[in-house]
């Protein structure tokens, strides 16, 4: 019985992680793709390991902060192009972009 519960818990955790990844991709597709697919206005292109490496090295909290608060002196506005996005939405999108850019 205990093994069954452990297996169920592990399965639920994998589903949760997949759901977060899917949500991040959905937010990216809705709000981030316009700049991060093409590199418009200096945005790091998704999948460009060289462009993302120094950003990733600064830590996820820094990346989340840029997504939520914008980056002064650049085209990255607070919440990018998604004023309706929640902080968890934006973090999921950042997680997705980072996962595709390592």
Domain boundaries, the chain: 22-99
**By percentage, how much of the chain surpasses pLDDT 90?**
78
- The structure's pTM equals 0.78
Phi and psi (nearest 5°) for 65?
-60, -40
Homologous superfamily of 22-99 in CATH? Answer: Cytochrome c-like domain (1.10.760.10)
For 44-67, what is each residue's pLDDT tens digit? 999 999 999 999 999 999 999 999
For 82-98, what is each residue's pLDDT tens digit? 999 999 999 999 999 99
- Say how many C-beta atoms besides its own lie within 10 A of residue 78's C-beta: 13
Q: Which residue has the higher pLDDT, 73 or 1?
A: 73
Please state the rounded mean pLDDT for residues 21-35: 91
């Amino acid at each position: 019985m205990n093994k069954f519960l452990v297996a169920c818990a592990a399965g639920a955790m994998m589903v949760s992680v997949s759901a977060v990844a899917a949500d991040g991709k959905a937010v990216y597709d809705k709000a981030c793709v316009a700049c991060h697919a093409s590199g418009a206005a200096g945005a790091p292109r998704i999948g460009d390991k060289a462009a993302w490496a120094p950003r990733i090295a600064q830590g996820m909290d820094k990346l989340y902060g840029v997504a939520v608060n914008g980056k002064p002196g650049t085209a990255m506005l607070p919440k990018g192009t998604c004023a309706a996005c929640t902080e968890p939405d934006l973090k999921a999108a950042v997680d997705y972009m980072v996962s595709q850019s390592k």
